[in-house]
Structure 1
Amino acid sequence: MDFEGRYKKVLDTCSKKNRFGKAVSYLPAGAAVAIECFGVPSKKLLEVLSGNGSVSLTAKPTLGVSLSTWNALGIDPKEGDTLTMGSKNFKVKFVEPDGEGGAVLNLSIMP
């Protein structure tokens, strides 16, 4: 098995439930029915520069996904899609493919 095959296998294994993955109900923009899948939740730290020049850190929610697994379920994650994880609802702000078969979905919490 080549490197890409091994990487995909690790990514798929880690994103499954009871590993690092969490159950996600994913609703593509304009779709009527949500799709049940798994992803690896995390947070991205961002520096925020205030008007007075001070810097603070803020944590933004993200979801790591295996694109091949999601594509097989009919999901092509895009900006504007929504998802539910646990009792929280999120909107996809932008998708960052990692070039190795996965992607990080940058999320915002919906009220």
Structure 2
Amino acid sequence: MGVLAVETYTRLHMEAVACLWEAMMEADRHDVASSIHRAFRDWGTVHMRHAAIDLADFVLRVYESMSEEEKFSLGPYDWEFVPAVLRQVDWVDGSAVHLNDPRAVADLILWRPAS
């Protein structure tokens, strides 16, 4: 794939990436004992920026698994929801590791057991 090759992303994907990046930077600054802080130190900013791109689709699937009432209960997408999903991610061997089931992650951030 050349430098000018284009992958197609929606506006929602781009918003998710921007919100993830902001949440990742915030977590890195404020939680030096976290796996995300270690990931930034071990793999670098470029790698982590690409990880945000890769993780955005999962964030969107978690969001879509929730009802409108559940989404509203979490507060703002960028300041509450995305950081809550990010807290469910562990960073191992250069990759974001999370549950595969978006609804299970939604249940975790809504403080309910997965069904």
**Is the TM-score greater than 0.5?**
no
TM-score by length of structure 2 reads 0.27
Greater Cα radius of gyration, structure 1 or 2: 1
Higher strand residue share: 1
Instruction: From the two aligned structures, give the one with the greater helix fraction.
Output: 2
> Which has the bigger relative contact order, CA under 8 A and spacing at least 6?
2
TM-score normalised to the size of structure 1? 0.28
